[in-house]
Amino acid sequence: MDGVPFIFDDFAQGLYGLPKSDVLRFKSETGRLIIRPSGTEPKMKIYLQSKGKDVIDAQEKNDKMLEFINTFIK
Residue 2: the pLDDT is 61
Where are the domains positioned within the chain?
Answer: 9-73
Return averaged pLDDT per consecutive 10 residues of the chain, 74 residues in all.
Answer: 77 83 89 91 92 94 88 78
Full-prediction pTM beyond 0.95? Answer: no
C-alpha span between 45 and 39 (Å, rounded): 9
List Cβ neighbours of 65 (8 Å cut-off, separation of 6 or more).
1, 31, 33, 48, 50
Residue 1: the pLDDT is 55
CA 66 from centre of chain: 9
